[in-house]
Amino acid sequence: MQILPNCRSVYESTVCVQYVDEAFSGPPLLPSDPYLRAKARIWVDFILKFIMPNNRKVVQKQVQKEQEEAQSLLLENLLKITRAMNEEGPFFFGDTFGYVDIVLFSEVGQ
């Protein structure tokens, strides 16, 4: 296997999304306002810590009680993020599809 010169790789899904946002032209995935960018990163962290693990437990746990506990926590955390979304939607920051939506939809849409 030959390694291509000047070939660079980026990994970790959230890092990849940020890389694409910065490296390619097109609609921005992160808001231009620093406060809103920070808010987006906070909610992505929330998704990774509280939504993703419970979503996986709902699917992977074999004991019904454990599935139900994970489902309850998943729904509770989905409600939290839904309340933080722009009320006019349909996306997290309103009418613009972006970073938070990509991470959330890629996890919950499995």
Digit-coded pLDDT (tens) for 68-90: 999 999 999 999 999 999 999 99
Q: What is the pLDDT of residue 38?
A: 97
Q: What is the pLDDT of residue 107?
A: 73
Determine the distance from the C-alpha atom of residue 18 to the mean position of all C-alpha atoms in its chain, rounded to a whole number: 11
Q: What is the pLDDT of residue 2?
A: 59
| pTM of the model as a whole | 0.86
Quote the CA–CA distance of 81 and 76 in Å, as a whole number. Answer: 9
Mean pLDDT rounded to a whole number for the chain: 91
Burial string for 1-32 (b: 16+ CB within 10 Å, else e) reads: eeeeeeeeeeeeebeebbeebeeeeeeebbbe
DSSP single-letter state for residue 49: I
- The domains located in the chain, with CATH, are 30-108 (1.20.1050.10)
